[in-house]
Structure 1
Amino acid sequence: MSIKKISLITILLYVLVFLSPIVFSPFPPNILIAGTTVIYILGAALMIWLYLKNKSSAITMVEKDTKLTSPVFMLLLGISGIFIAMIIQAIVFGIETAITGAEPSSQNTKNIITIILANPLFILATTIGGPIMEEFVFRRSLIGLTEPYTGFWISAIISSSLFSLIHQDGHFFVYFFMGFFFALLYKMTGKIWTSIIAHCGMNTLVVIAQLLLHFGNIELPK
């Protein structure tokens, strides 16, 4: 299949997964959370399968043009990207707080931690399923579809804007700059695995930190 077809299928699959909680809404909360988690993992697995099955024929411009394709470089950049992404998040939160006076916290993260505390299984959706799907959709598919018409930088801005809006968090620029950074990681190596490593790793560290704060009854300084 072509990259256009794969990208459209990937986006459609993401929309179906995103709406999947509606299917489980009539059931008790534990079933809702467990069902949603399974759907997230299945969605991520299907996207990986589609990518691997068609990676020789469905190639984006980013993947064609890159020169730094070494697996070692990809791994090192992905791991270092975890910490760079967290620094970017902290800096943008700080700037946003200084300008608007808004609370430097994420309601989206708070909601996720609440769900994890109710059902720890959901941590798999947050740290593995969700970020993998978001990288295939917002980095590979959206950039793959738009880059031939707009160039990389405009397509990265479009995908990062949509990435931020989908989180519905009220911190547009925080998610925008993180999305843009993940797009840069993808461009530098031409491997979607680079941004996946950084995104999954960052989500994992954020969840661990929030759980430690919760169970340690620690409050962040205001």
Structure 2
Amino acid sequence: MLVPLLVGPILEELIFRKWIPNTFQDVLGRKRSVIFSNLLFSMLHFDWFIITYFANGLIYSYFYDKSKDIKVSIIIHILYNLCVFLLTFF
């Protein structure tokens, strides 16, 4: 339970909201690098909810870009995963 609720969101936010967009923004521009990163994020989940993952990734990216604090998107991602967990298992 710890991995999908805490470890996953922390790693995913660091990689897909911070590292990848910041790495590619000089080449692609900020918007395209965010879209590219979120396409990767959604495809690497390997299931049918690609559009949901992409949309959520854009939301996480928005809050990261506005706040300039990765902890904000990490907290939102953790809360989302917790809601999905609670709705799915209870």
Q: What TM-score bracket applies, with the shorter chain setting the length?
A: over 0.9
Is 1:162–2:31 an aligned residue pair? Answer: no
Q: What SS does the aligned partner of 1:167 have?
A: coil
Deviation at 1:132, TM superposition (A): 0.5
Q: 2:19 aligns with which of 141, 144, 151?
A: 141
1:170: Cα distance to partner?
A: 2.1
Determine helix, strand or coil for the equivalent of 2:47: coil
Count of aligned positions: 90
| Aligned equivalent of 1:195, options 66, 69, 73 | 73
Give the TM-score taking structure 2 as reference length.
0.95
Which structure 2 segments of 5+ residues have no match? none
Q: Aligned-pair distance for 1:136? A: 0.3
TM-score (norm 1): 0.40
**1:127 match:** 5
1:153 aligns with 2:26: no
Deviation, 1:205, is: 1.4
- The amino acid that maps onto 1:204 is L
In the alignment, what sits opposite 1:207?
A: 85
| Alignment partners' CA distance in 1, 2:49 and 2:84 | 16
Question: Which structure shows the bigger proportion of residues in helix conformation?
Answer: 2
The reply on whether 1:174 has 2:52 as its aligned counterpart is: yes
* 1:208 Cα deviation from its structure 2 partner: 1.4
User: What's the RMSD between the two structures over aligned residues?
Assistant: 0.9
Shift of 1:171: 2.5
Greater radius of gyration (CA): 1
Q: Matched residue of 2:74: which SS?
A: helix
Per-residue CA deviation, residues 98-125 of structure 1 (Å, 9 max, x unaligned), is: xxxxxxxxxxxxxxxxxxxxxxxxx111
1: CA distance, partners of 2:61 / 2:53: 12
Identity over aligned residues, as a percent? 31
What 5-or-longer segments of structure 1 have no aligned partner?
A: 1-122, 213-222
In 1, the alpha carbon distance for the partners of 2:21 and 2:68 equals: 12
